[in-house]
Amino acid sequence: PSGTKKNISVEVENKNSCHRYSGVLISDVEVKESPDWLKKKLSSIGVKAINNIVDITNFVLHQTGQPLHAFDADEISGDKVIVKNLAEGTVFVTLDEKEIKLHANDLMICNADEPMCIAGVYGGSKSGVKSSTKNIFLESACFNPSSTRKTSFGHGLRTDAAMHFEKGTDIENTIPSLVLAANLIGEIVGGKISSDVIDICPEKKSATKIFLSWNKLNEISGTKIPTQSVKTILLSLGFSIENENESGCNWIVPTFKTEVLRDVDVIEEE
Integer Cα distance of 174 and 167 in angstroms: 16
Q: Give percent above pLDDT 70 in the chain.
A: 98
Q: Give mean pLDDT, residues 151-168.
A: 95
> Is pLDDT of 124 > 90?
yes
pLDDT(2) > 70? no
Which segment of 33-42, 58-67, 186-195 scores lowest on mean pLDDT? Answer: 186-195
At 204 the pLDDT is: 73
Residue 126: left (phi > 0), alpha (psi -120 to 50), or beta? Answer: alpha
Q: How far apart are CA 98 and CA 101, in angstroms?
A: 10
Over residues 136-145, mean pLDDT:
97
What is residue 258's predicted lDDT score, i.e. its pLDDT?
86
Give the pLDDT score at 236: 94
What pLDDT score does 205 carry?
73
Instruction: Kindly report the backbone phi and psi dihedral angles of residue 185, in degrees, each rounded to the nearest multiple of 5, phi listed first.
Output: -65, -40
Longest C-alpha distance within the chain, in Å?
A: 65
Say if CB 51 and CB 38 are below 8 A apart.
no
Report if pTM > 0.75. Answer: yes
Q: How far apart are CA 164 and CA 162, in angstroms?
A: 5
The stretch 223-243 carries a mean pLDDT of 92
Please give the pLDDT value at position 146.
Answer: 95
Q: What is the pLDDT of residues 242-261, one digit of tens each?
A: 999 999 999 999 988 988 98
How much of the chain exceeds pLDDT 90, in percent?
A: 89
Q: What is the mean pLDDT of residues 220-227?
A: 90
Q: What is the pLDDT of residues 160-218, one digit of tens each?
A: 999 999 999 999 999 999 999 999 999 999 889 999 999 999 777 778 999 999 999 99
Question: In the predicted model, is pLDDT for residue 75 greater than 60?
Answer: yes
pLDDT at 237: 94
Q: What is the mean pLDDT of residues 214-225?
A: 91
Amino acid at 124: G
pLDDT higher than 60, residue 239: yes
- At residue 171, the pLDDT reads 94
